[in-house]
Amino acid sequence: MITTLGSDTCEIDEGCRLVSGASFSTPEPGNDALDGKSHVVVRTPSGELYGGDLIQDILEYRKLRALQLAEGTNDETLTLLEERLRAVPREDGGRNVRAYHRFDVVLRAKLRQAREGQAKLSDVETINVSAGGVKITLAVTPAPGEQVWLLLPQDESLIILPARVAWARENAAGLMFAGAPTTRPLRGKRR
């Protein structure tokens, strides 16, 4: 399935995984016209179509979770998002290795690193995304434990997700989200 979005073309494979494109923009299933917002169409690990906007759900979850930790509040929306994003307990009674579902989603993004007192931006691509973190590929591998920021373009905004490098191998790294995301308008764009 090929979806054209303005001047960008996104290709989606049979599993509804975004395999190419300038940003994470795909229409919701069964909707021929976009509503002007970006969407990621993915399948859950069990093969069902995820019933929502995955990236927006993860961003909202991260914001509400940070608020809960800071203020001790309990929000109904947080509970609902947690139910959607948390890994399902194994039927055999065993322990899940991961707390959150991993969704195979390829997104182009930037990684900001602070090295030797200077900010460095690198092009990255996600392999999979969860409410707890993301696996990325990149040319220059960061150091485990390093504080980084994942920058995701969305519509006319830039989403900034603070993270810590959990592990790194040649040209790949696992990032654990560390705090609430922030949103900034893209330069040159007016709201």
pLDDT at residue 93, as a whole number: 63
pTM of structure: 0.73
105, pLDDT greater than 70? yes
- pLDDT tens digits for range 30-85: 333 334 455 666 777 777 788 788 889 999 999 999 999 998 888 899 989 988 88
The H or E element containing residue 134 is strand 133-138
| Ordered domains of the chain (ranges, CATH) | 54-85 (no CATH), 103-185 (2.40.10.220)
Q: Which residues contact 166 (CB under 8 A, 6 or more apart)?
A: 133, 144, 173, 174, 175, 176
Q: Which residues contact 35 (CB under 8 A, 6 or more apart)?
A: none
Percent above pLDDT 90 for the chain? 40
